[in-house]
Structures are given as structure tokens and as C-alpha cells.
Chains A and B, each alone.
Chain A
């Protein structure tokens, strides 16, 4: 009788798609120098590369190149943060209105975790108050078991970046859905109508 109960428990554990130990133990965001991931949709490819560590605002961070366009990321115990810099151009010269790190993904990933982080700052340019706001809203939608990857998390990220001048407000909204697999990182992302899938990667 006892061994039958153990067998049922064993089969339940093996057959389940809920691999909580995998989700609790594995690194879903391996951010190491030399790592790269290549994604493709039907007509385009994106290469994401982690470059040698740099320091911005006295914070050691990794430049992560997205097809040559760098984003500066830093991984802490509680989050992956991204360097944000907002520039206002006046009379041909650039003025930095705001620069700082903002949380992009709260760690560890937990289904249902919703968060919002905000950066805001202002400066005077030619006696005019210029205000910048960067707002990031994240939601860990959930996880699903995917063959070859294990439990993959889906994360919705919405960013609203705005500059307010005495005359106008310029706002840019961006929505992206990213999918993260244990030990690999992002395996898929959807931006606008495009969906990119991981086709090749290397994590040293």
C-alpha cells in the first residue's frame, strides 16, 4: 500500500508542469559579460550582447547592446535596473533633464507580482522649466511549461516617457511582453505586432 502512495506522489511530481523548485532555484536573468542571444521574427533578427562592465553614476553596470543600441543594466538582489537618461534639446545643444537607474524587472520572478517605478526630475533651460518623467509598470503574468525551456515566465512591461515644457507635453508609450526561461534569460519577446523568438544563444 505504502509503495503505491509513493508511486502516485512520484508520478504526480514528474507529470506536473508546476516546477516550483526550478523556478525558485534557477537564475532567470543571467547577466554575464560575453553572453549573447539572437532572436528572429519572419523578416528580421535582433542580436543582444552583454559587453564588458562599465560604470555609470558610480554604479557598475553592463552595457547590453540591442543590435548595436546600448542599454545599461545592473542586476541587484531585488531587481534588474536600467539606466535612463532624458535629454532636452534647446537651440542646438543637449541638456540632461534626468538620469538615473529605474527598476525594470523585480526579482525573483513571482506570478502575479505587479509593480510600478517612477523617475522624475526637472531643470531650467533658458528660464523655462523642463520636466521629465519616466514611468515603468511591470506585471509578471504567469508561467507556462515550454518544451526545452522548463517553466517560462511572461512579463508585461509598459513604459511612459514624457517631457513637459511650458508649451507642450511630449509623451512616448512603449509596451513589450518578454518571456524568460531558467538559466537562459529572455527566450521570446513581443513588441507592437512583432514576435521575436530565440534562435541561438551563448552564456559563458
Chain B
């Protein structure tokens, strides 16, 4: 990540809001924060991000955290661009003093709108964030606001 960032053309931060869309019957809502490093690869812009989501349950004592890496792509020179990303998440779910952990494959499908002001890029993004352990699939619908600065 650090080496990639050294050669990145822009770095950014995103923050947003998630609601369960598939599965996750015990989840109420959640927030997501991610740090991104982007690089133009000619046809597409690649983005490597570290993201963490914190979700609260319908039971107020229940929480679910998912932290992981995503490798994604988008078109930085389009006003409206599709977004695709794949990666993996470390998941921790807890109730009262107990918790359990595990890994899941993750993917993101969505779209963003690019607004550019000199080196600054501001982009609202809507997406579906899916998680799977290859036995069950579940996911969230999300809305995020991102801001990136071109180096």
C-alpha cells in the first residue's frame, strides 16, 4: 500500500453510510470510511483502498465490523463512471462481551460522479458492497462522499 501510494497520482478519503440490502437481518445501519490511492493506468484508473465499516444491529448490543482491502477501477475522466472493486474483509461481530471473527471475500459494484476542481476531485458514490464466504452471500447498499487530491 505504501509503495503503491508513493507512485500514486492521487490519494483520497471516502466516508459514507450503509444499509443492509441482502441478508444481514440483524443489522440496522452502518458507516464506512476508506483511504484510497489512485493511479491512472491508461484505459482505467485503478484504486487501492483500505476500508472499515462499522455496523450496528437491531439489537443495540450487537455490532459488526468489516475491515479490508479493495482493488478497484473506475474512469476518472468520465463525469459518471462505473465502479468495480474486489478484495477481502476481516469481519468481527460482537454481542455484549463476546465476539467472533472470520474472513470473507468482498466486492463492490456502483457508480460515482466526478467533480474536478484543479487537482481536487470530489465524487459522490452509490454502490452495492457484497460479502461472501462462498456458502452465503450478503451485502449492503451504500452512499459515500469521496475527496481525492492529485499529486
Contact = CB atoms under 8 A, between A and B. Distances in A.
Q: Do A and B interact?
A: yes
A77 B58 contact: yes
A25 B88 CA distance: 17
Chain B residues touching A, majority SS: strand
A45 to B, nearest CB: 30
Given A24-B93, A150-B135, A78 B98 contact: no
A26 interface: yes
Given A77-B57, A112-B98, A27 B25 contact: yes
B105 to A, nearest CB: 6
A22 interface: yes
A27 B134 CA distance: 17
Contact of A16 (B58, B59, B133): B133
Chain A residues touching B, majority SS: mixed
Contact of A13 (B27, B57, B93, B105): B105
B127 interface: no
A19 B58 contact: no
B135 A78 contact: no
Given A25-B25, A107-B26, A13 B98 contact: no
Contacts of A19: 102, 133, 135-136
Please indicate which of the listed interface residues B23, B91, B98, B132 has the most CB atoms of chain A within 10 Å of its own CB. Answer: B98
Given A27-B25, A77-B57, A150-B135, 4 more contacts: A21-B135, A77-B26, A107-B26, A150-B136
12 contacts: A19-B135, A19-B136, A20-B102, A21-B132, A21-B136, A22-B136, A25-B137, A26-B136, A77-B58, A78-B58, A107-B59, A150-B135
Q: When A and B form their complex, which 8 residue pairs have the shortest distance between CB atoms, in order from nearest?
A: A20-B102, A25-B23, A77-B58, A78-B59, A22-B136, A25-B138, A112-B98, A110-B95
